Amino acid sequence: MGVDAERARTLALAAFFGLAAASCARAPSPLAPNLHGPIGMPHRGVLTDADALPRTGPGFTWLRDDERHYAAPRFVRAIARAAESVAAARPGAVLAVGDLSVKSGGRLMPHLSHRTGRDADLLLYMTTLDGAPVPSPGFIHVQEDGLAWDEAHHRFLRFDVEREWLLVKALLTDDDARIQWVFASRTVEAIVLEWAQARGESGDVMLRAQEAMLQPVPGGVHDDHVHIRTQCSPEEVAAGCEPTGPARSWIAASAPALDHAATPSDEELALELSRPLEPEATAARAAPAAPAAAQAGGTQ
Ligand SMILES: [Zn+2]
């Protein structure tokens, strides 16, 4: 992998955490009444004017019954639309939706991000070995052969790559979704992309998927769900959303100037990646950067 690709991947890792050389996230206050929506960065920010994904809808359901399904309204609608399109094309399966954000955003353990209504965890579509869709068994780990052990039911399940690709494609071709990242394990990524290529998908869609899909390390392998992130819209930027990571050719008007201004230097990246899970926990900040950099290099 060349230097540029290496750097791009390292930047991508930082993007997973929303790390950037930007100032502290803003927050709504009487002094800043113009801030609303997703405010700040994925790992450091808050959320106002959120909508909740309904508990169930056409082709989707909450994984757990809790208060963690809030996000920017357009992002919520995009997730529902994508799930519905999969259900329409290949009926019989239901997308299980894990954590988005809490209503006011902010910290959501155990996640590093999910703080500004721009992140969502989507469980993987799974079938029986015979190809019959099953309700999500939760977070089970897809191996290189496309199988995953469902401990609760003592059985192997098969990764439903056909529906997963339909979902990824629906998200990446939805203008309002503004999908910047589809974090997934290298295994899941490879299975999905090979499937798409074999199906003769267009170069444009393939390119989007290749750029967006990434296994973040550190940050979890993501062989049991995909984590999608939406980029701020220009209106959201004006209201306090801080773009992170690379601009995407398929995201219209993604405020590239701001994106590039937020791109940290290699040195800053190394420092950011070496920080503990909770950036507020300053005590451990003096940790050397080398291990994190080595870890980042280990993701090729
Ligand atoms: Zn996540």
CA dihedral angle for residue 165, residue 73, residue 240, residue 268, rounded to 10 degrees = -20
CA 181 – ligand 1 centroid, Å: 11
Which residues keep their CB under 5 angstroms from ion ligand 1? 121, 227
The whole-model pTM stands at: 0.79
CA 68 – ligand 1 centroid, Å: 12
Helix (H, G, I), strand (E, B) or coil at 119: strand
CA 119 – ligand 1 centroid, Å: 6
CA 219 – ligand 1 centroid, Å: 9
Q: How far is CA 36 from the centre of its chain?
A: 21
CA 110 – ligand 1 centroid, Å: 9
Q: In the block, which residue shows the tokens 């089970």?
A: 140
pLDDT attached to residue 251:
92
Q: What are phi and psi of 90, to 5 degrees?
A: -135, 80
Class in CATH terms, 3-297: alpha beta
CA 111 – ligand 1 centroid, Å: 6
pLDDT attached to residue 157:
98
How many other C-beta atoms can be found within 10 angstroms of the C-beta atom of residue 278? 12
pLDDT attached to residue 240:
95
Per-domain residue ranges of the chain: 3-297
User: What is the C-alpha radius of gyration for the chain, rounded to an integer number of angstroms?
Assistant: 19
CA 120 – ligand 1 centroid, Å: 6
Q: Which of 113, 119, 139, 40 is nearest to 79 (CA)?
A: 119
The order of strands in the sheet holding 179-183 is 56-57, 60-62, 95-97, 119-123, 225-230, 179-183, 213-214
Helix (H, G, I), strand (E, B) or coil at 40: strand
pLDDT attached to residue 164:
98
Q: One digit per residue, pLDDT tens: the chain, 300 residues?
A: 454 555 555 545 555 554 443 444 566 776 677 899 999 999 999 999 999 999 999 999 999 999 999 999 999 999 999 999 999 999 999 999 999 999 999 999 999 899 999 999 999 999 999 999 999 999 999 999 999 999 999 999 999 999 999 999 999 999 999 999 999 999 999 999 999 999 999 999 999 999 999 998 766 789 999 999 999 999 999 999 999 888 899 998 654 444 444 444 443 333 333 333 333 333 333 333 333 333 332 222
CA 31 – ligand 1 centroid, Å: 32
pLDDT attached to residue 33:
74
Q: In the block, which residue shows the tokens 């353990």?
A: 109
Q: Which of 151, 155, 93 is nearest to 123 (CA)?
A: 93
CA 263 – ligand 1 centroid, Å: 22
Q: Which of 276, 170, 274 is nearest to 228 (CA)?
A: 170
